[in-house]
């Protein structure tokens, strides 16, 4: 087994009385696409900032490629590339000038740099835009340029903070095709995303909630962790139904899916039986119900809203 690229052991970060990251431990292998999931404020950004050597941990340890992320942070920074959610390159420089600047910053040898630039221009579909100002590019092209700049020094690890946020489906797919190619070649990808269809594409995902790592598994196994089916209620009018169903006894949560109310409950079959015997919502019309297999959006909702344990422990 190859040595992990990232190893976290009880990693902690506190700000006065607030524990932003609370004892996170995990290991990520080379070539893995790891999805780091959690609601806003869960501690994802703080964790990444510690891994990047920008914030000193309050406790525990973290290592990248065998080096301590804080004590050896200057050496560690040569091992990874980072792509921010918002465009963070130089808008007044051309595509090639941005690549040369970052190549110089990462001390890529001059003899190697031009070959790297040409290779990345081809892989990122940026060759026709090589002399265009970065600030004039479309959103998708800007993100491809940011990815190229992060890869200029051939890092073993790539951090991406919501890399496809706001992009159209074509550019989203293009970026994920590139990530698959990188992972196949051995680059480890550490990605945060709020798109659950993208979480499905990761080799494994970790859920962070209030600074604690609640789960780390493959998407398939996380979906299988639901011990009860998901209930889709076909009720009209649907928007008032969401409000009333959410307040019903025994209901943990409700979301809108394809025009229906998706109900999360520890014992959904009991709920259906009770409602068939006596429908408690006189202003709503019940047209029927179906049972659905949980997807990653259901998993995310359960973990981010704190009822995953009830669902996992409920009897089928």
- Residues 97, 206: one domain? yes
Average pLDDT over residues 286-311: 89
Q: Would you give the DSSP letter of residue 3?
A: P
Confidence class for position 314, pLDDT limits 50, 70, 90: low
- 262 and 208 inside one domain: no
Average pLDDT value for residue range 188-198: 92
Q: Is 61 exposed, middle or buried (0-12, 13-18, 19+ CB in 10 A)?
A: middle
24-83 pLDDT, tens digit per residue, is 999 999 999 999 999 888 999 999 999 999 999 999 999 999 999 999 999 999 999 999
- Structure confidence by residue, pLDDT tens digits, 240-295: 999 999 999 999 999 999 899 999 999 999 999 999 999 999 999 999 999 999 99
pLDDT at 282: 93
Q: What is the pLDDT of residue 315?
A: 46
Whether residue 171 has pLDDT greater than 90: no
Q: Phi/psi of residue 227, each to 5°?
A: -95, 0
How does residue 311 score in pLDDT terms, banded at 50, 70 and 90? Answer: confident
**Same structural domain for residues 79 and 170?**
yes
Q: How far is CA 148 from CA 32, 132, 205, in A?
A: 19, 15, 24
Domain match, 199 and 273 both: no
Looking at the predicted structure, is the pLDDT value of residue 16 above 70? yes
pLDDT at 263: 96
Q: Tell me the pLDDT of the chain averaged across its residues.
A: 92
Regarding predicted confidence, which is higher, 266 or 166? 266
**Angle between the 139-151 and 169-184 helix axes, to the nearest 10 degrees?**
10
216 shares a domain with 189 = yes
What is the model's pLDDT at position 208? Answer: 93
Tell which phi-psi region holds residue 84, choosing left (phi > 0), alpha (psi between -120 and 50) or beta: beta
Do the beta carbons of residue 51 and residue 28 sit within 8 Å? no
At which of 190, 222, 254 does a domain end? 222
Q: What pLDDT does residue 205 have?
A: 96
**216 and 242 share one domain:** no
280 and 161 both lie in a single domain: no
- Asked if 15 and 107 sit in the same domain, the reply is yes
By residue range, what is the domain housing residue 307?
A: 224-313
The pLDDT of residue 304 is above 90? no
Q: Going edge to edge, which strands form the sheet with 157-161?
A: 80-83, 157-161, 188-192, 33-37, 204-209, 212-217
User: Greater confidence, 87 or 138?
Assistant: 138
Answer whether residue 316 shows pLDDT above 60: no
Strands 230-236 and 212-217: unpaired
Q: DSSP string covering 5-55, please?
A: SEEEEEEEEEETTEEEEEEEEEEE-TT-EEEEE--TTSSHHHHHHHHTTSS
Q: What is the pLDDT of residue 1?
A: 63
Residues 126 and 256 in one domain: no
* % of the chain at pLDDT higher than 90: 79
Name the strand (E) or helix (H) holding 133.
Answer: none
Residue 241 burial class via C-beta count within 10 angstroms: exposed 0-12, middle 13-18, buried 19 and up: buried
Tell me if 1 is assigned to some domain: no
Could you say which of 222, 243, 275 is where a domain stops? 222
Residue 105: how many other CB atoms lie within 10 Å:
11
Distance CA 105, CA 133 (A): 20
Q: Do both 33 and 109 map to the same domain?
A: yes
- Report the number of distinct structural domains present in the chain: 2
Residue 114 has pLDDT above 70, yes or no: yes
Q: Cα separation of 172 and 156, whole Å?
A: 22
In terms of C-beta density within 10 A (0-12 exposed, 13-18 middle, 19 or more buried), how is residue 184 classed?
exposed
| Percent of the chain scoring above 70 in pLDDT | 98
Residue 4 has what DSSP assignment?
Answer: P
pLDDT digits (tens, 9 = 90+) for 74-100: 999 999 999 987 778 999 999 999 999
Which CATH number do you get for residue 288? 3.30.70
C-alpha to C-alpha distance for 7 and 3, rounded to whole angstroms: 9
- DSSP per residue over 218-282, as a string? -HHHHHHT--SPEEEEEEESHHHHHHHHHTSTTEEEEEEETTEEEEEESSHHHHHHHHHH----T
| pLDDT value for 162 | 86
């Amino acid at each position: 087994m190859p040595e992990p690229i990232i190893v976290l052991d009880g990693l902690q970060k506190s700000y006065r009385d607030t524990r932003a990251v609370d004892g996170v431990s995990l290991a990520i292998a080379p070539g893995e696409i790891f999805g780091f999931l959690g609601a806003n404020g869960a501690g994802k950004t703080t964790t990444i900032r510690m891994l990047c050597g920008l914030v000193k941990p309050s406790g525990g340890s973290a290592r990248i490629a065998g080096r301590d992320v804080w004590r050896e942070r200057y050496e560690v920074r040569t091992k990874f590339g980072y792509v921010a959610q918002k465009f963070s390159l130089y808008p007044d420089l051309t595509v090639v000038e941005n690549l040369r600047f970052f190549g110089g910053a990462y001390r890529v040898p001059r003899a190697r740099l031009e070959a790297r630039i040409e290779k990345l221009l081809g892989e990122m579909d940026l060759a026709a835009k090589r002399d265009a100002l970065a600030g004039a590019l479309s959103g998708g092209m800007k993100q491809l340029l940011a990815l190229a700049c992060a890869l200029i020094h051939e890092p073993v690890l790539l951090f991406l903070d919501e890399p496809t946020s706001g992009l159209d489906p074509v550019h989203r797919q293009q970026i994920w095709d590139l990530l698959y190619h990188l992972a196949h070649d051995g680059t480890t990808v550490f990605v945060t995303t709020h798109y659950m269809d993208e979480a499905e594409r990761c080799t494994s995902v970790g859920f962070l909630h209030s600074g604690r790592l609640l789960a780390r598994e493959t998407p398939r196994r996380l979906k299988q962790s639901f011990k009860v089916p998901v209930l889709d209620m076909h009720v009209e009018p649907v928007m008032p139904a969401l409000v009333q169903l959410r307040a019903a006894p025994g209901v943990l949560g409700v979301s809108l899916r394809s025009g229906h109310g998706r109900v999360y409950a520890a014992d959904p079959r009991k709920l259906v039986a009770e409602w068939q015997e006596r429908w408690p919502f006189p202003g709503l019309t019940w047209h029927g119900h179906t049972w659905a297999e949980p997807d990653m959006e259901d998993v995310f909702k359960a973990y981010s809203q704190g009822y995953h344990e009830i669902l996992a422990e409920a009897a089928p």
